[in-house]
């Protein structure tokens, strides 16, 4: 499968997961069962495991499905902005992933380990609780706010509900070390399995639907507008991390409260917060793995659900230096438990059509219980995967859930195959529009050639446009877009912003009252101001994920400038093309898709129509620190630095809003040079570009160091 196919599959999966999260967490109206949702999660994580760089490039920070628990705050709850984002963790599924984690940390901090070969890499290992993540804010020791993770930036205000949970103290103890003026404490709300079973029994007796698992029960119990419902349920809580810390003037405190994470957990306990007693301070990789396998063998006796073990670098100063990659901290890893398997029957193979016409086969399975979850579907990826495993309708198949969540077909149990079962023939026509389906230039995926005449592609493009990572229009879920499209209310993105002119038609639709119509139109109106990077992503250009959209936004600064440059870049010998492929992480394949999109007159017409309905703002990367002297600057690093590795220095520069590129040009603002700088320093001098020594560069960072987070 080519990188373009992986990109398309990952985008499609992310959009489906976001839609499911919105339906379940906001509207309490799931659009799929738990098994289907878990299948999507596992498919995403499989792509992420196999292509980590691509995953980080297209879905950075909290935008990655692996980083998201729930969705943006629902209208029924007040919204609460986290002072420091609640990000996710990278996942590991095998012992080798743990070895890679240790190696990556040692490589990043190699100067420290080179200076002291006996230096230990201490890791705190904690069971990964399968519950609802939340953030508690204490001011002067008093609980003043509580929020769900939400989308990582904004969660739901659940203070009233958290005040009913016995494990969460309304006032922190002052046991020797007083809490700071303000602190965010992160943790997990969960159910004991015995309490969960009792809750389901009471719901059965009352004629109410059962919760699928303890995690869903915890989420459903906390997300109650009536806090008396939450109070009646025996929820538990474990604290495990710190968020923002501020002084009495609201200024961020970046110096850790304790030298190590292990000491911080002890401090949490002194303040009266429960911490998992099974935590362990490990001094090497062998101890980490021994703890993991011990917890794995004991987990059925713990009394609560866990789905892995979390590893965190113990030293906070190292955590700060390691910082964050595109979407997760470099200093932590979630080591998921191994897959559980079972056998079932493949009843049928259905075909889903994606936004760019990709035909994705899906196995429809006889439902089977694997590790407490009913699995009924699994992705088959593409025709080659079906042929490679010789999967046929009616086969008995071996299914597994990796990381305790995600289903996939491992193999066919050939000895149980019914005689004369015919091989599966992949359709040559699109099931949505009947157009020819074919492969493009060596791709593994089959694509519908119907383009805009294919309703599935049109609807998927519109869904992508309004998605949380795009223009982010709440209330425009898959069902509504499908219905609006079928009934001719919308055909292009611009039509969405013209729906206010069709208010009377909306009011006549079944299920649409005055309040729901007004809420939708109000939400649309609020989205007329669109950040440039979100707009670029929302256009649905192949291979353009969040990270690439931000790079383009930052580099070109203005959409019309970007469009004109892409038109000029159709000539691969032009300066415009050379400038495009010079951008970090943009190669010839991505450049080809960008140029092809803008070369199509229909696309330019759709965009021009859309620009008549909205206003674009901003062109800088999201992470820019406005008061940093490096914000918006283009930088090159060359030579061997003394106080940090080049990789560490580049990450620091980017955290200050700088754009780091690999080659020196007239557009470069600064070149940071170390020992043996070579030709890049010479070229910078020839172009009269400002050359910085390492100490000068560090002084310019102005001590903007991101505090530890989880």
pLDDT above 70 covers a percentage of the chain that reads 87
Do the beta carbons of residue 635 and residue 672 sit within 8 Å? yes
Q: Between 3-21 and 588-599, two packed helices, what is the crossing angle to 10 degrees?
A: 70
Measuring CA to CA, how many Å separate 400 from each of 318, 407, 408?
Answer: 37, 5, 6
Mean pLDDT of 43-50: 76
Mean pLDDT of 678-691: 90
**CATH top class, domain 454-527:** mainly alpha
Nearest of 128, 168, 124, 125 to residue 146 by alpha carbon: 168
- Ramachandran region of residue 463, left (φ > 0), alpha (ψ -120 to 50) or beta? alpha
| Cα 432 to Cα 676: distance, rounded to the nearest angstrom | 60
Quickly name the fold that domain 9-59+339-446 has: OB fold (Dihydrolipoamide Acetyltransferase, E2P) (2.40.50)
The region of weakest confidence among 410-419, 477-486, 500-509, 651-660 is 651-660
DSSP calls for 325-342: -SSSBTTEEEEEPPPEEE
Q: Where in the chain is the domain with CATH 1.10.150.20?
A: 454-527, 531-617
| Cα 406 to Cα 46: distance, rounded to the nearest angstrom | 9
b/e 126-152 (16+ beta carbons within 10 angstroms → b) = bbbbbbbbbbbbbeebebebbbbbbbb
Q: Which residue has the higher pLDDT, 378 or 126?
A: 126
| Cα 308 to Cα 336: distance, rounded to the nearest angstrom | 4
Q: Which value, in Å, is the radius of gyration of the alpha carbons in the chain?
A: 26
Do the beta carbons of residue 284 and residue 120 sit within 8 Å? yes
Two tokens at 485? 């499209």
The most confident of 75-84, 494-503, 633-642, by mean pLDDT: 494-503
**Phi/psi at 531 (5° precision):** -60, 140
pLDDT at 710: 40
Q: Which residue has the higher pLDDT, 421 or 200?
A: 421
Q: Which residues are catalytic?
A: 128
608 Cβ neighbours under 8 A, 6+ residues apart: none
Specify the CATH number of the domain 634-700.
3.40.50.10190
Beta pairing class for 332-336 and 91-92: parallel
Q: Which residues pair with 135 in a beta bridge?
A: 147, 186
| Cα 269 to Cα 282: distance, rounded to the nearest angstrom | 20
- Backbone CA torsion sign across 292, 293, 296, 297: negative
Q: Which residue has the tokens 């995600």?
A: 406
Q: What is the pLDDT of residues 217-256, one digit of tens each?
A: 898 899 888 888 899 999 999 999 999 999 999 899 989 9
Task: Tell me, rounded to whole angstroms, the distance of Cα 341 from its chain centroid.
Answer: 27
| Cα 316 to Cα 253: distance, rounded to the nearest angstrom | 13
pLDDT at 372: 59
Beta pairing class for 634-638 and 670-673: parallel
The region of weakest confidence among 67-81, 103-117, 600-614 is 67-81
| Cα 517 to Cα 499: distance, rounded to the nearest angstrom | 10
Mean pLDDT of 37-49: 73
Mean pLDDT of 358-363: 91
| Cα 310 to Cα 129: distance, rounded to the nearest angstrom | 9
pLDDT at 125: 98
Q: Where in the chain is the domain with CATH 3.40.50.10190?
A: 634-700
Two tokens at 392? 């046929």
DSSP calls for 236-282: EEEEEEEEEEE-TTS-B--S-SSSBHHHHHHHHHHTT----TT-EEE
Read off the pLDDT band of 599 (50, 70, 90). Answer: confident
Q: What is the pLDDT of residues 114-166, one digit of tens each?
A: 999 899 999 999 999 989 999 999 999 999 999 998 878 888 899 999 999 99
Do the beta carbons of residue 554 and residue 618 sit within 8 Å? no
SS (H, E, C) 365-414: EEEEEECCEEEEEEECCCHHHHHHHCCCCCCEEEEEEECCCEEEEEEECH
Nearest of 102, 601, 81, 677 to residue 333 by alpha carbon: 102
Q: Where in the chain is the domain with CATH 2.40.50.140?
A: 9-59+339-446
588 Cβ neighbours under 8 A, 6+ residues apart: 581
618: pLDDT strictly greater than 80? no
pLDDT at 371: 63
Do the beta carbons of residue 664 and residue 684 sit within 8 Å? yes
pLDDT at 671: 94
Specify the CATH number of the domain 91-336.
3.30.470.30
Q: Which residue has the higher pLDDT, 40 or 294?
A: 294
pLDDT at 625: 47
| Cα 478 to Cα 641: distance, rounded to the nearest angstrom | 51
13: pLDDT strictly greater than 50? yes
Do the beta carbons of residue 130 and residue 215 sit within 8 Å? yes
218 Cβ neighbours under 8 A, 6+ residues apart: 131, 132, 189, 190, 191, 235
Nearest of 541, 69, 44, 55 to residue 326 by alpha carbon: 55
Mean pLDDT of 469-488: 87
Q: Which residue has the higher pLDDT, 204 or 635?
A: 635
71: pLDDT strictly greater than 80? no
Q: Which residue has the higher pLDDT, 20 or 333?
A: 333
Nearest of 390, 443, 298 to residue 1 by alpha carbon: 443
Q: Does domain 531-617 have CATH number 1.10.150.20?
A: yes
Output the pTM of the full model: 0.57
346: pLDDT strictly greater than 80? yes
Average pLDDT, the chain: 85
644: pLDDT strictly greater than 50? yes
Read off the pLDDT band of 73 (50, 70, 90). Answer: very low
């Amino acid at each position: 499968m080519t990188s373009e196919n992986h990109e398309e599959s990952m985008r499609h999966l992310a959009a489906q997961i976001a839609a499911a999260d919105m339906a379940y967490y906001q509207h309490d109206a799931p659009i799929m069962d738990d098994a289907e949702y878990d299948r999507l999660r596992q498919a995403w994580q499989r792509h992420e495991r196999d292509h980590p760089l691509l995953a980080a490039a297209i879905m950075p920070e909290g935008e990655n499905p692996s980083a998201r628990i729930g969705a943006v705050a629902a209208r029924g709850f007040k919204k609460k902005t986290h002072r420091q984002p609640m990000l996710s963790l990278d996942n590991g599924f095998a012992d080798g992933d743990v070895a890679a984690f240790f190696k990556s940390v040692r490589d990043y901090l190699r100067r420290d380990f080179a200076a002291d070969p006996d230096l230990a890499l201490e890791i705190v290992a904690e069971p990964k609780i399968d519950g609802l993540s939340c953030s508690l804010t204490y001011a002067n020791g008093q609980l003043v706010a509580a929020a769900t993770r939400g989308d990582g930036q904004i969660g739901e205000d659940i203070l009233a509900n958290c005040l009913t949970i016995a494990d969460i103290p309304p006032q922190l103890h002052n046991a020797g070390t007083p809490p700071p003026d303000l602190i965010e404490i992160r943790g997990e709300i969960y159910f004991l399995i015995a309490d969960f079973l009792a809750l389901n029994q009471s719901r059965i007796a009352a004629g109410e639907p059962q919760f699928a698992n303890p995690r869903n029960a915890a989420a459903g119990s906390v997300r109650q507008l009536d806090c008396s419902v939450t109070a009646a349920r025996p929820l538990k809580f474990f604290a495990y991390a710190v968020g923002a810390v501020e002084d009495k003037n609201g200024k961020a405190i970046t110096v850790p409260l304790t030298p190590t994470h292990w000491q911080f957990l002890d401090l949490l306990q002194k303040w009266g917060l429960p911490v998992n007693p099974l935590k362990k301070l490990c001094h090497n990789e062998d101890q980490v793995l021994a703890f993991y396998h011990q917890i794995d063998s004991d987990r059925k006796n713990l009394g609560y659900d866990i789905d892995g073990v979390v590893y965190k670098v113990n030293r906070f100063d190292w955590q700060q230096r390691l910082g964050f990659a595109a979407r997760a901290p470099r200093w932590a890893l979630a080591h998921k438990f191994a897959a559980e398997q079972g056998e079932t029957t493949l009843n049928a193979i259905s075909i889903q059509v994606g936004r760019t016409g990709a035909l994705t086969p899906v196995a429809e399975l006889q439902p089977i219980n694997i590790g407490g979850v009913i699995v009924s579907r699994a992705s088959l990826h593409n025709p080659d995967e079906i042929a490679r495993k010789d999967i046929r309708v009616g086969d008995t198949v071996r299914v597994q859930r990796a990381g305790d969540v995600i289903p996939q077909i491992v193999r066919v149990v050939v000895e149980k195959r019914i005689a004369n079962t015919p091989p599966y023939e992949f359709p040559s026509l699109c099931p949505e529009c009947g157009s020819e389906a074919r492969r493009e230039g060596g791709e593994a995926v089959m694509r519908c050639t119907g383009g805009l005449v294919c309703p599935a592609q049109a609807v998927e493009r519109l869904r992508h446009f309004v998605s949380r990572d795009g223009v982010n229009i709440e209330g425009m879920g898959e069902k509504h877009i499908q219905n609006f499209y079928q009934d001719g209310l919308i055909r292009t993105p611009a039509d969405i912003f013209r729906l206010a002119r069709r208010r009377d038609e909306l009011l006549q639709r079944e299920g649409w009252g005055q309040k729901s119509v007004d809420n939708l139109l109000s939400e649309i109106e609020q989205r007329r101001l669109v950040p440039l990077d979100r707009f670029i992503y929302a256009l649905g250009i192949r291979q353009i994920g969040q990270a690439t959209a931000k790079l383009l936004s930052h580099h070109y600064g203005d959409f019309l400038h970007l469009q004109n440059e892409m038109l000029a870049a159709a000539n691969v010998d032009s300066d415009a093309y050379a400038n495009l492929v010079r951008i970090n992480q943009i190669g010839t394949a991505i450049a080809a898709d960008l140029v092809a999109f803008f070369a199509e007159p229909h696309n330019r017409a759709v965009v021009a129509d859309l620009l008549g309905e909205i206003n674009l703002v901003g062109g800088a990367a999201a992470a820019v620190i406005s008061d940093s002297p490096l914000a918006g600057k283009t930088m090159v690093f060359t030579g061997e630095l003394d106080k940090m590795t080049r990789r560490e220095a580049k990450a620091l520069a980017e955290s200050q809003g700088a754009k780091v590129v690999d080659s020196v040009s007239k557009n470069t603002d600064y070149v940071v040079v170390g020992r043996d700088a070579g030709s890049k320093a010479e070229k910078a001098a020839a172009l009269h570009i400002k050359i910085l020594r390492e100490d000068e560069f560090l002084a310019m960072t102005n001590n903007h160091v991101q505090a530890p987070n989880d």
